[in-house]
Amino acid sequence: MLELSTEATRLAGILLLAAVTIESGGWYLTRIARGAVPATDFQRSFARAGHGHAGMFVTLGLLTAVLTDATSLDGFAAWVARSGVPIAAIVMPAGFFFSSLGPGRTTPNRLIWLVWIGAAILAAGLVTLGVGLLTA
């Protein structure tokens, strides 16, 4: 039987519960698609991008939570490997959602920088875990 660390078990539980919030975001997307929520084409595309990134990164975060246990990483490096993708699952979608807020918006506002911060966090987590797995 696979024995997970306390950190992996807790993070996996949190990510599975977070998936329920992503599900409710999907319901909101159906309201946008039906025209029940007014949105520009730009806002529709950013809502889809934010929702898609959140779902995919939460799923990938479940893998990173478990795979970090297969490395010899510890301390901060283990934290980055385990938490980078889940943190990106919050920060990057937030950039898509918050940068498209406002009636009639057709271009992103300054909060688009959250997308790029999320991308950097994602890369840090994936590179750390990848190197940790290759050197285990």
Is residue 128 in some structural domain? yes
Nearest Cα to Cα of residue 86 among 37, 16, 27, 25: 16
Q: Give tens-digit pLDDT for 54-89.
A: 999 999 999 999 999 999 999 999 999 999 999 999
CA distances from 34 to 22, 31, 38, 46, 70 (A): 19, 5, 9, 16, 45
Structurally, the chain folds into a number of domains equal to: 1
108 pLDDT more than 80: yes
Distance CA 133, CA 35 (A): 46
Find where tokens 């799923």 sit: 59
The yes-or-no verdict on residue 21 having pLDDT over 80 is yes
Q: How confident is the model at residue 3 (pLDDT cuts 50, 70, 90)?
A: confident
Question: What range defines the domain where residue 35 resides?
Answer: 6-134
Mean pLDDT of the chain, nearest integer: 95
Mean pLDDT of 29-54: 94
- Residue 28 has a pLDDT of 87
- What is the rounded distance in angstroms from the CA atom of residue 123 to the CA atom of residue 125? 5
Band of residue 24 on the pLDDT scale cut at 50, 70, 90: confident
Is 37 inside any structural domain? yes
pTM given for the model:
0.92
Specify whether the CB–CB gap between 7 and 61 falls below 8 A.
Answer: no
pLDDT at 25: 85
Of the candidates 85, 110, 77, 102, the one whose C-alpha atom is nearest the C-alpha of residue 18 is: 85
- Give the mean model confidence (pLDDT) for residues 33-48: 94
Quick count: other Cβ atoms within 10 Å of Cβ 120?
A: 13
The answer to whether position 1 is within a domain reads no
CA triplet 132, 74, 5: central angle to 5 degrees? 95
For residue 1, pLDDT over 70 is answered with no
